[in-house]
A and B are shown apart, each in its own frame.
Chain A
Amino acid sequence: MLEAKRLDDNARARRVAQELQPGATVALGSGLPALVPQELPSDTSIQFLTESGMLGSLVLGVEPSVHSGFLDSNGLPIAFQPGASVNSTVDLAAMLRGGQVDTAIIQVSQVSGVGDFTHWTSAETPELFGPGFSVDLAAGARRVIAMMPHVNEDGSSNIVMECSTPIDGAGCIDLIVTDIAVIGVTASGLQLLEVAQGWRADDVIALTQAQLISSQDLVEMNSGCPPFDASVNKPSEKLFASGLDALSDLPNGAVVMIDGFAGPGGTPHYLLTSLRDHGAKNLTIISNTAGIARVVNFGTPPGKQAIDHTILFDNQQVKKAIASYPVSPSASRPTAFELAYRRGEVELELVPQGTLAERLRAGGAGVAAFYTPTGVGTLISEGKETRVIDGKEYVLEEALRSDFCIIRGHQADALGNVVYKGTSRNFNSVMAPAAAVTVVEVDEVVEPGKLDPETIITPGIHVNRIVIRPSDFSAYE
C-alpha cells in the first residue's frame, strides 16, 4: 500500500480542473491552486480571479515579464486573454462576498469532518495564523475545493475529526482533493469518492483520522475522465437581440433597479420602453428619481416628451418606489409618481441619495448592513436603530438587492465588461453588482480587449445581459 504512487502536484491540479464548468468564475488562492489553469485548454471561457485583483481568462504557456503588472495569487506574472480587468482588493472582496464567484480553490493544511479548514499560510505562521485572503475566499464562493497532501511527512492525517489549528472557515469546504483521494463533504459526513491508481479504499481510510465512508461508486482518480470538452466550452451568450428579449422572464412583483440620475443622460431609455412593453406588474422600483425628466422638460424637443419612469406609472406597473427624489422640483408640475402616490396607488420608501448609493453598494458587496451618519436626527432615522460609535451618532441602514436591474452603459464587450460615459456612471456602476440579473443597454459592443483592463468600471462578472440601444432610438416619445 505504501509503495503505491501518489499523485504529483500537476496531476492533482488536473483533477481539480475537471470540477470547473465552462464560463464559471473561479477564485484561485495562493500556493497549489495556481497550477490548475495550466490543466485546462487555453481557450477556456473560465474567468479566473486572483488575489492580486486580476479577473479574466488566462493565456497559458507564456512567461510575461515581471514588469507586466499582472500577477497571480503567488505574485508571479501571468498573461490574460483580451477581456481581462484590473480590480482593487476591496472590489475583489466585494465580488466574493456579493456572491459573484462560483468556485474557490484553496490550499489547506487541515480539513475537519464537517468541512472546517485551516489555510496553509495560517499553519505556516503558528501563534499568529495569518490566513491571507483565504477566509474571504472560502466564505464567499458558492463551492470551495481544498487541495492538500493527505498526510504530513510524519504520517499524521490532514483530514481530521477536529482541526488542531485555529480554523479559517467553518463548514466551508465542499470537496477535498489530495494526492491519493477525492473526498466529498456532505451533510452526513465525509464520503470517499475516488482513489488514486494503485490505492484501495481501506488504505485511504486508514490514513484518514476523520471518519470516512467509501462511496458505492468509487472510481479511480484522473482515469476515464473525458478531456475538457472545448465544444461545450462556450461563454454564455450575453448579447440579446432586443430589450424585450432581455426582459422576457422578468416576473410580476419583481424588484427592479433602474439607473439614471435625473435628466436624460445615463438613463436606459430603451430598456425602460422594453419594460413597459413587457408589461410586468406590481413592480418595486429602486431608482434615484421617479419621473423627473418628463416634468422638468430640460432639452426636450417641442412636441415630444422625455422617456423616464413616468411610462411605467402611466402603465400602472409599479406598486412601490424606493427613491431619493421621486418628486418634481416644481409643485405645479408633479411627477406621475407624485400623482399616483396622492391617489394611494403606490408606496414610497424615501432614502437620501448617498444612503441609496451606499445601500446599493452594500447589496452588491455582501455587506448586510452599515452605520451611516446621514439622516441622524431627521425623519430618515425614525424607526431605525441609531447608535453612538466613537462619540458620533449613526443610523443603521440595510443593503438593497433586486431581481433585475436595467442600466445604461457606453460600451460593453462580449464578456459583459462595461465602461460608462461621463456622469452616466452615477448609479449604474453601483447597481450592476446588486441585482440577480443585470441588463445593460449600451451604444456599442466591442471586441474583448478593446476596453483597457485598467479602465473597466463594471467587470463582466456582474453583467448578465447586454442589449445595443438602437442607433435611431430617441430618449423622447
Chain B
Amino acid sequence: MPKEKVYTTCDNALVDIADGDTILIGGFAGFGVPRGLIAALCQKSVRGLTCVYSPGSWPEYAKPSGIGQLVANGQVEKLISAWPFTQDNGEIVKNAWRSGDLEIEIVPQGTLAERLRAAGAGLGGVFIPTGVGTRFAEGKETRTFDQYECIFELPLKADFALVKAHTADTLGNVVYRGSGRNLGPVMAMAANVSIAEAARLCEPGGIDPEAVISSGIFVNRVVQVPNP
C-alpha cells in the first residue's frame, strides 16, 4: 500500500516542521504562492527558519503571501532571495533586517533555480558563467571551460518545500498553472519533504501523464486548499 500522501489540513501537513529548518516557498508576483501552508506555518511555534522565497515583482492586485507575517512573528532567521523587499512585505522584512533580527542572502534568480535543481538532481555542484566579475563571484571558486569563466555553485538543499499546485492527484503528481509554475518544480525536487497545496485534488489518472510537471516521486504530501 503506497504511503498516504493526502493531508486534511495544512497544519497537519506541517506536523514535523522543526526549529531551524530550511523551507522553500514558491511563488512569482503573487501567483503560485502556497498561502494556506504559509498561514499554517505562522500559527506554529517553530522558529529560526531559513526561508527561500524569491517572488519577483509584486503587483498591487496580488493578495499578501503571509511571508510578512512569518517574519513579523520572528520565526524567520534567514531569507534567501533575489528580491528581498517587495510590495508584499517590504517594510516588515526591511525593518527586521535593519534591526539585525533577520539575515538576508541575495542570490540571482537563475542561479537560485540552478542550485535548487542541482540539489534535486543529486549533483555535488555546478559551474555556471552567471555572475562572473560581480559580487556574486566573491569567495567562490572560478574555473575556465572552453574560454568561458565559470563560478562554482553549490546545491541548495532544504528540509521542506511548500509549493502551490493547480491540480494534484493523490499520488502527488502535480500540474501548475501559468506563471504559478516558476520555482515550484525545482523546489519540489530539492527538499526532503515537499508539500503541494492544490485547489483541486483528483484520483490517479485524473491528470494526463504527459501533462504532469512534478511527478509524485518528488511530492510527499498533498493538501487541498480552496482558492481564496
Contacts and interface: CB of A to CB of B under 8 A. Distances in A.
A135 B130 contact: yes
Contacts of B20: none
Residue of B62, B128, B211 with highest tally of chain A CB at under 10 A = B128
Given A75-B56, A130-B81, A130-B84, A373 B146 contact: no
Contacts of B131: 135, 139
Contacts of B57: 30, 51, 73-75, 132
A88 B181 contact: yes
Contacts of A70: 178-179
A392 B124 contact: yes
Interface string A425-466: 000000000000000000000000000111100000000000
A125 B79 CA distance: 15
Contacts of A261: none
B78 interface: no
Interface in B64-120: 81-85, 97, 104, 106, 108-111, 113-114, 116-118
Contacts of A392: 124
B117 to A, nearest CB: 5
Contact of A370 (B126, B133, B183): B126
Interface residues of A, number: 72
B183 A68 contact: no
B181 A53 contact: yes
Contact of A51 (B56, B62, B130, B184): B56
B117 A90 contact: yes
Contacts of A54: 178-179
A375 to B, nearest CB: 12
A170 B116 CA distance: 25
Contact of A140 (B83, B122, B130, B186): B130
Given A30-B57, A368-B148, A93 B114 contact: yes
5 contacts: A90-B185, A135-B131, A135-B136, A358-B121, A454-B177
Interface of A: 30, 50-54, 66, 68-71, 73-76, 86-90, 92-94, 96-97, 116, 121, 124-125, 128-136, 139-140, 166-171, 358, 362, 365-373, 387, 389-390, 392, 394, 398-399, 419-422, 452-455
Given A68-B178, A75-B28, 15 more contacts: A53-B182, A71-B178, A75-B62, A88-B181, A124-B85, A130-B85, A132-B57, A135-B130, A135-B131, A368-B148, A370-B126, A419-B210, A422-B210, A454-B175, A454-B211
